[in-house]
């Protein structure tokens, strides 16, 4: 039986013959903020991309979001409307202004009126501190600003779940803070967040739970206090040594 708001059972993912996810079981509660950490190639991106089925996964596996199975077909649009995603490379639509980027999905998927979508976009821009940038095109913004627009765009669908795939990894160091600040605020709002990140400080302060992945498996899952001070698994300890020792 499912217990979590996001329920992942025996998630298997193959890229050709390569076994990228080796039977992940994970329950995430409504409103929980989960940070996923682990070495490069451990399957972190693959895991969260399966949650909204940007990646197909093995038929024996099951993912449910709010009780809805994440399967191809009519349900998938429903799941995707509830699950927002923020990418490492922003992926803003370059031919649309910042405001239009945010308005597009509400208008097309929810059928929101133009006026309502515009008002909502401006509200969201204010929330991420970019109210003066609505008319600009993405190419006119800094990386940090673009990522904040991408967050606003995801929020426009009023998602119950937000997935982040290394949202600050493509940013210049001086811009990481502004994006993490927005995410910190979001974490207070009760939205369920799954954040793949290398920002251990953020995980320590904001996460309800930290998950360590290696070799396509979840090795350890614990609240940050425990995770960072008393990791149980050797592999976790080695990883933390490597990333925290500089």
Partner 1 sequence: MDLFETFLNFEVLARSFPMLLKGLWLTLKLGAASILAGLVLGLALCMMRLYSVRPVQILTRIYIDVFRSIPLLVLLIIVYYALPFVGVRLSPFASAMTALTMVSGAYTAEIFRSGIEAIPKGQFEAAAALGLGHRQTMVDVILPQSIRMVIPPLTNNSINVVKDTALASVVAMPDLLKQATQAQALAANPSPLIGAAAIYLAFLLPLVLLVSRLERRLNRGKA
In whole angstroms, how close is the CB of 36 to ligand ATP at the nearest point?
8
Q: Are 13 and 57 in contact (CB under 8 A)?
A: yes
Residue whose pair of structure tokens reads 């990894």 in the numeric block: 169
**Closer residue to partner 1, CB minimum distance, 162 or 219:** 162
* Number of residues located near ligand ATP, criterion CB under 6 A: 11
**With CB under 6 A as the contact rule, which of the stretches 37-45, 104-112, 149-157, 182-190 interacts with ligand ATP?**
37-45
- Beta partners for residue 19, in sequence order: 14
Which entry of ligand ATP, partner 1, Mg ion, none binds 94, CB below 5 to 8 A by partner kind? partner 1
Instruction: State the alpha helices, DSSP H only, in the chain.
Output: 44-51, 74-82, 98-105, 114-127, 143-155, 173-187, 200-206, 224-229, 234-244
* Number of residues located near partner 1, criterion CB under 8 A: 23
Among 8, 50, 85, 195, binds partner 1 (CB under 8 A): 85
In whole angstroms, how close is the CB of 195 to Mg ion at the nearest point?
12
> Is position 236 an interface residue for ligand ATP (rule: CB under 6 A)?
no
In whole angstroms, how close is the CB of 50 to ligand ATP at the nearest point?
10
> Is position 46 an interface residue for ligand ATP (rule: CB under 6 A)?
yes
Question: Based on the number of CB atoms within 10 Å of its own CB, is 46 exposed (0-12), middle (13-18) or buried (19 or more)?
Answer: buried
Report the alpha-carbon distance of residue 67 to residue 56 in Å, rounded.
19
Q: Are 168 and 87 in contact (CB under 8 A)?
A: no
**With CB under 5 A as the contact rule, which of the stretches 10-18, 43-51, 71-79, 156-164 interacts with Mg ion?**
43-51
**With CB under 8 A as the contact rule, which of the stretches 13-21, 65-73, 153-161, 212-220 interacts with partner 1?**
153-161
Binding residues vs ligand ATP (CB under 6 A): 15, 18, 20, 38, 40-46
């Amino acid at each position: 039986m499912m217990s979590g708001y996001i329920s992942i059972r025996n998630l298997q993912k193959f890229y050709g013959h390569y076994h990228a996810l080796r039977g992940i079981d994970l329950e995430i509660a409504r409103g929980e903020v989960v940070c996923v950490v682990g070495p490069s190639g451990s399957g972190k991106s693959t895991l969260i991309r399966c949650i909204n089925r940007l990646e197909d996964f093995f038929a024996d596996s099951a993912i449910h979001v709010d009780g809805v199975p994440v399967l191809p077909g009519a349900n998938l649009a429903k799941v995707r409307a509830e699950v927002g995603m923020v990418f490492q490379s922003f992926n803003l639509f370059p031919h649309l202004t910042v405001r239009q980027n945010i308005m597009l999905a509400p208008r097309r998927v929810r059928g929101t009126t133009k006026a309502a979508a515009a008002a909502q976009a401006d509200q969201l821009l204010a929330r991420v501190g970019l109210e003066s940038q609505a008319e600009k095109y993405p190419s006119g913004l800094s990386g940090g600003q673009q990522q904040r627009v991408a967050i606003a765009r995801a929020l426009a669908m009023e998602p119950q779940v937000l997935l982040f795939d290394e949202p600050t990894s493509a940013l210049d160091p001086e811009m990481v803070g502004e994006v993490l600040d927005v995410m910190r605020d979001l974490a207070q709002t009760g939205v369920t967040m799954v954040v793949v990140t290398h920002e251990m400080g953020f995980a320590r302060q904001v996460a309800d739970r930290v998950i360590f992945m290696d070799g396509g498996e979840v090795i350890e899952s614990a609240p940050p206090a425990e995770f960072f001070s008393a990791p149980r698994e050797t592999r976790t300890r080695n990883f933390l040594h490597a990333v925290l020792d500089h």
